[in-house]
Structure 1
């Protein structure tokens, strides 16, 4: 049986390696149209009476609800989709495959969008515009029926009518709000870390054999939070429940928190091919490999699937000032990723054959916060899936990540005087 290395000694060795390799780098040596309606309260969808169907060349939506709720309907493009927001709907028992019977629509998703909000997104095969919508209440039972009809329009007309509506009281302010009250950061205070359990709400992430990525990563984020707090860190989560947080919102949280570190946690699944073991990803303009490029595209597509309008995001994220800030931050992110991989290897955790990867992940684009994305494993791998549902394995994984962060912190403090001011 292989003897496990001394914990403190392992941290020192990892930190020393980081300082040496970073020193080489510093010295120049190369290393590695909308409609809204108002009611109050929460409703349950009655799936047996609900459906999305084609009728005389139009798309018709019928949702039977236990009671009336406020709602709004609008469309977005790239890709073309219909978005319905509710305050608030319980989707339990609704099967998208049973609900959707249409050639004009290709897919439907629903779930909690954020606390107090629910959302349905319908992907379209061709441009359609809202023609009418109505919510009728049944006096004796209190139940409600929402009907909406969408008719074909030219592509140019769809573009003109689409966009995130400025409906009073329904604004986008919650997309980048902090989930909690955060005290000001003390200059000599503990390391402040933001953990990002990937996906959530309307975006469940990967699903295999009854295991849902969003739920699993929230559980693991809480466990990792406990391990980091015990080591003296101040730790926050981008979400505390099964709610959706936009990629833009996650990045904004890291900045608003003045976080020292940002870790996004995932457990992906491959549609084809085989992969297993943990991988640690950093931001790059071009992907290190094709698998990482496709992975970044899947992660970034979450906002589109959830009905977020990203039309203004690219200019904000790709600004010159942000690029300048990343000049200092990116090497620190890469050192953090290296430290975590070394700590995982020291603990004997299963690593992917290429554990260090990079791609253009939008969630890692906080310009002033060292950020990494950790794929804890692949739910498409039975071995990884078995490991990740095991609390004992997750505890070892959390402790190894904690050790990597501690080693990085030692090295980062050592290298701080050498950085450009």
Structure 2
């Protein structure tokens, strides 16, 4: 279809829409003069499509609409004559294709072709297709797929994928009743490509222009020491989720108190600090990760103090994302499972969170982030040991904690101790011990931040 024909389609559609409105107004006036006043019947209430705040949309009548194959050399309106419901083999007896859309009212529209693969595209202002199955009108053997729906605000679109090159022979809108008719005729690859190029020259101006592209912020750059380190502290649990409980103590308020103390220390040292919660409120696990990513954190430090029901465990532990090693026993797996179960009990739906494709993409991102997280965990373990703080016999472990799953942010979970251990409970309640722990964490973040920045600068050279 050349640019002149394309422009004629658009101008005709706009003119027909205006003419139909004038004709409708004349008919109403004539009826008002010929009939005595009467109580008008109640108009049927048709709800608008979901997610749209529009009125007076044109609606498709599928019973009077259809896409059909015309017999080769057939006159307009003459179909292939096959028995109802029988679909011929695709590509057999290639002839013209007739499309008709019965609408509740006239609308401006445009028709154009695209190639690779061959497609008929129709834009409308605006037709409601909601609730209608495209298969209800597709009776063509040469239409391999048909879809429609909202295009962008105020516009809807229909796309018919074809099994061979076609071009538009004619397109028009009639008004009594309203129906859009399009006729496609077979072409070749060159003809279809020319029709697609004609559309390209018309598509970027006037009412058919696409909206401006959304502004997407640039990815958060890796820190290189040129600005303060951005630390996201994540105190575990909170609100209706108290976390572990033992000896009259609850995990949520204990780790919050430590996190606030650590926050103040890091800020005084010149770091930028944000927290997932700074009061006793519940924050879902996925939201905690989202907070870190939205803020552009350089690292995420989740703080916990769990308990185990069986066995004995004490001392601080640093966790990385990954499968628990056999040497660490089942403790890591149990703790990770309980954190997810806490979200379920708080009313968070965890279904659909593990998508296979997304998982592959995140694994690729973690190829860089993973080693950085490993170095952060080792820096924490080294500083805690140097400060004489009691650590678990396996000081660095792996577990499938949800809060460690940010693919682009180095993340670790620091288990301050175990509330199931009387010794650890005494340490967690001691302000002097908490100060030593906070100082050790500050030292580890300083060490890691300097080494990570040096690596970033080296990679950029």
The equivalent residue for 1:216 is: 254
Query: For structure 2, which runs of at least 5 residues remain unmatched after alignment?
Result: 1-219
5+ residue gaps, structure 1, are 1-183
Contact 1:265 1:375 in 2 (8 A): yes
Number of residues of Structure 1 aligned to a counterpart in Structure 2: 238
- In our comparison, the structure showing a higher alpha carbon Rg is 2
Q: Which residue of 2 aligns with 1:384?
A: 424
**1-structure distance, mates of 2:385, 2:302:** 20
The one of 404, 414, 420 equivalent to 2:454 is: 414
| Partner Cα separation in structure 2 for residue 250 and residue 327 of structure 1 | 22
Q: Which one of the candidate residues 330, 334, 345 is aligned to 1:305?
A: 345
Q: Contact 2:314–2:424 (CA<8 Å) still a contact in 1? A: yes
Bigger relative CO (Cα 8 Å, ≥ 6 apart): 1
* Match of residue 255 from structure 1: 293
Q: CA deviation at 1:185?
A: 9.2
Q: Matched residues in 1 for 2:283 and 2:356: separation?
A: 18
Q: Is the 8 A contact 2:308 2:331 kept in 1?
A: no
Task: Tell me the CA shift for residue 319 of structure 1.
Answer: 2.8
Preserved contact between residue 283 and residue 359 of structure 1 (Cα < 8 Å): yes
* Structure 1 residues 235-259: Cα deviation after superposition (integer angstroms, max 9, x where no partner): 1110111111111100101100110
How big is each residue's C-alpha offset from its partner over 1:65-109, in whole Å with a ceiling of 9 and x where there is no partner? xxxxxxxxxxxxxxxxxxxxxxxxxxxxxxxxxxxxxxxxxxxxx
Q: Over aligned residue pairs, what C-alpha RMSD do you find?
A: 2.1
Deviation (angstroms), 1:286:
4.9
TM-score (norm 2): 0.49
Cα distance change, pair 273–380 in 1 and its aligned pair in 2 (3 A):
same
Give per-residue Cα distances to partners, 1:291-346, cap 9 Å, x unaligned: 21112111222211111011122228953222111110011001000000000011
Structure 1-normalised TM-score? 0.54
3-state SS, counterpart of residue 234 of structure 2 = strand
- Separation in structure 1 between the aligned mates of residue 276 and residue 325 of structure 2, nearest angstrom: 25
**What does residue 291 of structure 1 align with?**
331
When structure 1 is superposed on structure 2, of 325-334 and 281-290 the one drifting more is 281-290
Report the Cα offset of residue 209 of structure 1: 1.6
User: Quick one: distance in 2 between partners of 1:321 and 1:249?
Assistant: 20
> What's 1:203 paired with?
241
Quote how far apart the aligned CAs of 1:356 are. Answer: 0.6
Instruction: Give matches, 1:9-408, under 5 Å.
Output: 188-287=226-325, 289=328, 290-315=330-355, 318-408=358-448
1:166-196 deviations in whole A, cap 9, x for unaligned?
Answer: xxxxxxxxxxxxxxxxxx9997431111100
Please identify which structure carries the higher strand content: 1
2:306 and 2:418 in contact (8 A); partners too: yes
